Amino acid sequence: MAEGVRRFLGKPGAVDLRPYTKLLSAIEAEEDGLRELSDTELTEKAIELGNAELPYERDDLVSLCAVGREAARRSLDERPFDVQLLGVMALLDGHVAEMATGEGKTLAGALAAAGFALRGRRVHLLSVNDYLARRDAEWMRPLYDMLGVTVGWITEDSTPQERRAAYSCEVTYAAVSELGFDVLRDRMVTDIADRVVPPPHVAIIDEADSVLVDEARVPLVLAGAAESVNADVEMADVVRGLKPRLHYEIDGEGRNVQLTDAGIDAVEKALDGVDLYSEDDTSVLPQVNLALHAHVLLQRDVHYVVRDGEVRLINESRGRIALLQRWPDGLQAAVEAKEKVALSETGEVLDSITVQSLVLRYPTRAGMTGTAMAVAEQLREFYELEVAVIPSNKPNVREDHGSRLYATREEKEDALIAKVEEVHKSGRPILIGTQDVAESELLAGRLRDAGLECVVLNAKNDADEAAIIAEAGTHGAITVSTQMAGRGTDIRLGGSDMADRERVVETGGLYVMGFGRYPSSRLDGQLRGRAGRQGDPGDSIFFVSMDDDLVVNHAPETTGYQTTSEGEITDQGWLAMIDHAQRVAEGQLLEVHRNTWRYNQLIDVQRDVVLEHREMVLTGDQGDRQIRADRKKRHEELLEELAGKGSGAAEGAEAEENAGDAEGTGNGADAGAEESNEEKVARAARLITLYHLDRGWTDHNAFLSELREGIHLRFLGRRDPLDEFNRDAVPVFKGFLDEARARAAESFEELEVVDGELDVSSVGVKRPSMTWTYMVHDHPFSSAFETLVGRLKGGRGSGS
Ligand SMILES: Nc1ncnc2c1ncn2[C@@H]1O[C@H](COP(=O)(O)OP(=O)(O)OP(=O)(O)O)[C@@H](O)[C@H]1O
């Protein structure tokens, strides 16, 4: 079979593209007719497609694609390629469309979104960051307008009103974290009118592998103001004086650190003879461990940067500053103490949601990315998504060279610099991908020393990354970038305006060089994919050394090789070992994902129970009915007092007539002037009930995370930690709703009428004075812990 034909059938293990391919000629056949229509007629034609249910029947699907193509041609001056329409059809069927970099996923996603929207579904197009959400929505707006579909976007800066307006559009673009935070905040409202996110229909996820696999286990957290954690500057000083190997040992993968006996003695001495293992005071050892973890395992410029006097985490999966991320509080404070910066505000976790749970709320899910096949199994296992491999519009002519392996890091660096020198001579643009920020800086320094001017794109200047990466294809440019910084921005040959394109094409196009292989072949693929866009010429190569973390941590053997005089290892067996090490690393990440998922499943089930009940209280009279049943007498008394007939606290009863202004109840929204006394009591009952449900859930959350972190101690007893977790978490939750109800009843009993109003704050019903959101990068704790779990469950040893 000719390669060209095979390209349109789909890959083994992926969605069969033939049903879509068959429609292409019919779509094209409609084109001439549609060109005759006026813009208004075209819009009408699109709207007519809304007169039926999903899924699209064959003829309607053909019309949708044809109308969409014509609308894109007119509004964006881009006529969607056949392959983009295949992508649209795959998305409409709820698949993940694998489309290479620069193939025009933005347009394909928009057409699919419009297709869903025309059939009455609300679509959330989820991006990886605010910049892309806004850019894509504005870029596609003319297309949506022509198809009669409304579009909006939100970013971190959007006000609640703006969010509500954006979500009320048929298609809404948002960063996945922003959506998650809105969902979390909505769960805490005490008035329906304060909610911003409508019920979920369709999610189309851009960069689907990053979001659904790499970030799936990152919890998004809503926190409320609480007491601050003690800064442990003293502890930081103590561990700073400890010596590796003598006082502490790091496990093979650099994920855990432990004091040796000598270390324990040294710490006890430094802390004036305290007994770290005293049964009376168990608080010191965890603090020492946190300080040690912060000191030894978390490295500045690798795991975090210090900027503007603040510790900011680096998102390891994207190598960018993770603006809203922080570690679990104790560790955050320990790192801040280590770096001697002011302690950041701390709070208690009100609720959290993982990206995975967030996405699974949507009955219809679809996604697009350049690298999906490599995670096809995970997409199926965790999201019930299939991958459709969409062929590229023009064949990919990029040359992917085999990795070059060196004995030491220095030799690898020398080889890379030599290669850069050689390639740069012709003015050919070069993009170098590094593992982390520190490496970018070091490498940039070496390049500059060698007289090779370069631009560094890393977590320290992410604000400008889109603009910088857009110029990475300029003649003579050398760009050093951490992993996928600047993802989502096109690298056009000859610069963003392509003015110099021909000259750059002649040099051979963009040359991508990886300074070390990533922990997954998919991430390697993402870097390679920056070159060879839309049939452009390009090359890619990776430089690896036996000192690289990937090799040290995951290769079965690291000695016994032979090298050339330049320190290169050319034996194919050793090169194959690198692939093996990468597969081991991938396996471990999968195990981590699976374990986090198992834990979260139980928490999600419990949360759903609470949320379902909360919904009934919020939108119905559940709270009032329960309290009426539990505290009938007090209920009647309060009504009487409000009516001015009671005694005691009813001095302000004359205010009864104009008691409508409900200030002080913490829920003035729509109280309105006509609120009856019955309604006032019902509202107080609702607020009190909601408060105790939320309070209870916050406490239960804290209990669960302590349980989870503490359980690894019991792992020593050789029991299955997950069973242990379930065994403890299930009974504690059993009485949850009854307990919240009982507490609500107690608070209600104490409720009094003050100045003719029911003052719920006097019975302790207070919402947090402020809330904020962040993403917990759970790598430091959970991974170490999850690795233990992984080893126990799967018998997976370190690096084997
Ligand atoms: N049908 C088309 N005709 C002409 N140009 C197109 C077409 N579709 C997309 N493009 C252009 O191709 C470029 C790449 O599009 P887009 O950024 O959507 O790619 P992508 O697949 O999202 O890439 P990345 O993987 O980098 O995010 C854009 O400049 C866009 O304007």
CB-based contacts of 122, cutoff 8 Å, min separation 6: 170, 171, 172, 198, 199, 200, 201, 202
Q: How far is 764 from 775, CA to CA, in rounded Å?
A: 29
- Structure tokens belonging to residue 357: 């749970």
Residue 84 labelled as part of a binding site: yes
Q: Are residues 100 and 192 both part of a single domain?
A: yes
- Structure tokens belonging to residue 525: 């693929």
Does residue 726 fall inside a structural domain? no
- Given ligand 1 and candidates 65, 105, 138, 484, which is best to mutate, with the most ligand atoms within 8 Å of its CB? 105
Has residue 793 got a pLDDT over 50?
no
Q: Are residues 176 and 244 both part of a single domain?
A: no
Contact 725, 707 (CB under 8 A): yes
The total domain count for the chain is 4
> Is 493 in a helix, a strand, or coil?
coil
Tens digits of per-residue pLDDT, 354-395?
A: 888 999 999 999 999 998 998 998 999 999 999 999 999 999
Tens digits of per-residue pLDDT, 609-654?
A: 999 999 999 999 999 999 999 999 999 999 998 887 544 444 443 4
- Going from the Cα of 271 to the center of ligand 1, the distance in angstroms, rounded, reads 61
Confidence of residue 779 (pLDDT cuts 50, 70, 90): very low
Query: Between these two residues, 505 and 324, which has the higher pLDDT value?
Result: 505
- Going from the Cα of 529 to the center of ligand 1, the distance in angstroms, rounded, reads 14
Q: DSSP of 706-768, one letter per residue?
A: HHHHHHHHHHTTT--HHHHHHHHHHHHHHTHHHHHHHHHHHHHHH--EETTEE-GGGGT----
Q: How far is 189 from 278, CA to CA, in rounded Å?
A: 44
Which residues on neighbouring strands pair with residue 98, listed in sequence order? 369, 389
**Longest Cα pair distance anywhere in the chain, in angstroms?**
100
Q: Are residues 145 and 273 both part of a single domain?
A: no
Does residue 790 fall inside a structural domain? no
Does residue 658 fall inside a structural domain? no
Has residue 288 got a pLDDT over 80?
yes
Mean pLDDT within 316-334:
58
Asked casually if ipTM beats, i.e. exceeds, 0.95, the reply is: yes
Q: How far is 90 from 92, CA to CA, in rounded Å?
A: 5
Contact 476, 429 (CB under 8 A): yes
Tens digits of per-residue pLDDT, 721-747?
A: 777 777 778 888 988 999 999 999 999
Query: Between these two residues, 575 and 720, which has the higher pLDDT value?
Result: 575
Q: Quick one: which of 123, 113, 96 has its CA closest to 202?
A: 123
Has residue 670 got a pLDDT over 60?
no
Residue 662 has what pLDDT?
37
Q: How far is 649 from 755, CA to CA, in rounded Å?
A: 8
Residue 771 has what pLDDT?
67
Confidence of residue 714 (pLDDT cuts 50, 70, 90): low
The one-letter amino acid at 482? T
Strands (E), 12-148: 96-98, 123-127
Residue 296 has what pLDDT?
87
Which residues on neighbouring strands pair with residue 400, listed in sequence order? 540
Has residue 549 got a pLDDT over 80?
yes
Q: Are residues 633 and 754 both part of a single domain?
A: yes
Angle at 108 between CA 527 and CA 360, to 5 degrees: 80
Ligand 1 atom 29 nearest Cα = 490
- Given ligand 1 and candidates 103, 487, 528, which is best to mutate, with the most ligand atoms within 8 Å of its CB? 103
Which residues on neighbouring strands pair with residue 455, listed in sequence order? 479
Does residue 798 fall inside a structural domain? no
Mean pLDDT across the chain, nearest whole number?
Answer: 84
Q: Are residues 267 and 150 both part of a single domain?
A: no
- Going from the Cα of 624 to the center of ligand 1, the distance in angstroms, rounded, reads 55
Tens digits of per-residue pLDDT, 166-210?
A: 999 999 999 998 999 999 999 999 999 999 999 999 999 999 998
Mean pLDDT within 572-586:
92
Q: Are residues 361 and 476 both part of a single domain?
A: no
- The fraction of the chain above a pLDDT of 90, given in percent, is 50
Q: Quick one: which of 483, 466, 486, 495 has its CA closest to 528?
A: 483
Does residue 91 fall inside a structural domain? yes
Q: Are residues 183 and 268 both part of a single domain?
A: no
Q: pTM of the predicted model, to two decimals?
A: 0.79
Q: Which domain covers residue 550, as residue numbers?
A: 399-589
Q: Are residues 175 and 31 both part of a single domain?
A: yes
Q: Quick one: which of 316, 347, 350, 310 has its CA closest to 329?
A: 347
Ramachandran region of residue 791, left (φ > 0), alpha (ψ -120 to 50) or beta? Answer: alpha
Residue 117 has what pLDDT?
98
Query: Domain of 322: which CATH number?
Result: 3.90.1440.10
> Is 311 in a helix, a strand, or coil?
strand
Query: Domain of 435: which CATH number?
Result: 3.40.50.300
- The fraction of the chain above a pLDDT of 70, given in percent, is 84
State the pairing for strand pair 96-98/387-389. Answer: parallel
Q: Are residues 559 and 633 both part of a single domain?
A: no
Tens digits of per-residue pLDDT, 257-268?
A: 888 899 999 988
Residue 37 has what pLDDT?
97
Ligand 1 atom 5 nearest Cα = 78
Q: Are residues 339 and 363 both part of a single domain?
A: no
Is the shortest distance between the CB of 492 and ligand 1 below 6 Å?
no
Confidence of residue 53 (pLDDT cuts 50, 70, 90): very high
